[in-house]
Structures are given as C-alpha cells and as structure tokens.
Chain A
Amino acid sequence: DAGVTQSPTHLIKTRGQHVTLRCSPISGHKSVSWYQQVLGQGPQFIFQYYEKEERGRGNFPDRFSARQFPNYSSELNVNALLLGDSALYLCASSLITSDYNEQFFGPGTRLTVL
C-alpha cells in the first residue's frame, strides 16, 4: 500500500507570492494534519482535518489555510509569503483523531522563499 504522498517535493517562491501544497493520505485514513518544520527544530502543528472538517489549528497566522476534500486528500495554502515561511512542510495521515491515534508522515515539501 502506498504511504502518504505530497506534492511538490521542492518549491521556490518569492516574498508576497502564494503557494498551494498537496497531500494524499494513506488509503483508509480519514484525518490529515499539517506541520511546519524549520531547521533544527521539531515539527510544529498547523492544522488537523478529519472527515473534511477542521478539528484543530496551531499558532499560525491567517495567511495559512487548508481544506480537506471528499477523497480525504488535503491542500495547505499560504498567502503573502514571508522569508520566515521557508521550511519543510509535512503532512501526516491517521485513521481517526483521538487520544491514541498514530500519525504517519509523508516525505514533505521543501519550500524556499526568496
């Protein structure tokens, strides 16, 4: 079975531009979470979606938004890019959302903002 897939692998944008990142979860998984990881730190929670509804949001500005589609794939959108948005963006897939579910990460999208 395929794992979590993300596209694109790498992306270079300039300040002020907009970016859309895509994620397809493991087959049968209904929850997708997005994380941002900057060099030297652990991933930071951005959003979680379950059954197409937003279930949680981390401490990120409104420039960040996301959605989940009926096939459980998801998009993360970032508007008005800043240099500080340069990071590895990770999508994690889980069966459900609960106290005990395991999350499995995709390969990530490396975003560079110039």
Chain B
Amino acid sequence: QKEVEQNSGPLSVPEGAIASLNCTYSDRGSQSFFWYRQYSGKSPELIMSIYSNGDKEDGRFTAQLNKASQYVSLLIRDSQPSDSATYLCAVNRYSSASKIIFGSGTRLSIRP
C-alpha cells in the first residue's frame, strides 16, 4: 500500500465547473497536509495547506481534511483552462525531519 494514494487521472472537467481531487494516506499520525500544483516541465507550487479537520478555503480553492477517514480533498471552483496541471497531494511525516511524502499526482484537464 502506498503511503499517499491519488487517482492518476486524467480528470477532465468543463470550464466553469467544480473539479474535485481526492487523496488518501496511510500514516494515522500525520499532522499536516498539502496540495501542490505542477505544470508540465515546472516545479511543484504550494497552493493549499491544511492541519485541522474540516474545510479551508482560499479563493477558488477549498481543501478538506478528514483525519478519521485519512482522506484529503481539493475542490477547485469555476475551473479555468489555466488550472490544467498535475495536482500533488502531500503529507508531512515528521520524525526529527519534515519528510514530505507525495502521491503520484492527478492530472487535471479543463476543457473549454
């Protein structure tokens, strides 16, 4: 079992719709969770971090965390073509070092 699992996609969403990206993790002791966006050929860019159960909103992005279910999600409202990218879910497994464990990413495609 992978430590962080994501559906690889591609996930195709029409422009203006809500894109929903999901992630599960295996280490119940994990305390912090991140979503990174990565455009092809570029490095990952941090878009959301979440530490407590519930929802956290930032502009068009909402991160959701359920520690009991070991589940993290990212919602993108009013999807734009510029949102087309790979989205990486990441979990901080801290033990003397902040070892960020990444999923393999979900490729999102926004169709006009």
A interface residue numbers (CB < 8 A to B)? 31, 33, 35, 40-45, 48, 50, 55-56, 58, 88, 90, 92, 94, 97-108
Closest to A106 in B: B43
Residues of B in contact with A, size category: 20 to 34
Is A58 in contact with B99, judged by CB distance below 8 angstroms?
yes
Is A56 in contact with B96, judged by CB distance below 8 angstroms?
yes
Closest to A101 in B: B98
Is A98 in contact with B94, judged by CB distance below 8 angstroms?
yes
Closest to A103 in B: B100
Interface of B is mostly: strand
Give the complex CA separation of A48 and B31 in angstroms: 18
Measured between beta carbons, the chain B residues less than 8 angstroms from A88 are 43
Best-surrounded residue of B96, B99, B104 (most CB of chain A within 10 A): B99
Is A33 in contact with B98, judged by CB distance below 8 angstroms?
yes
Is B43 in contact with A102, judged by CB distance below 8 angstroms?
no
With A42-B90, A88-B43, A90-B44 known as contacts, the answer to whether A103 contacts B98 (CB < 8 A) is: yes
Chain B 76-98 interface mask (CB, 8 Å, partner A; 1/0): 00000000000010101011111
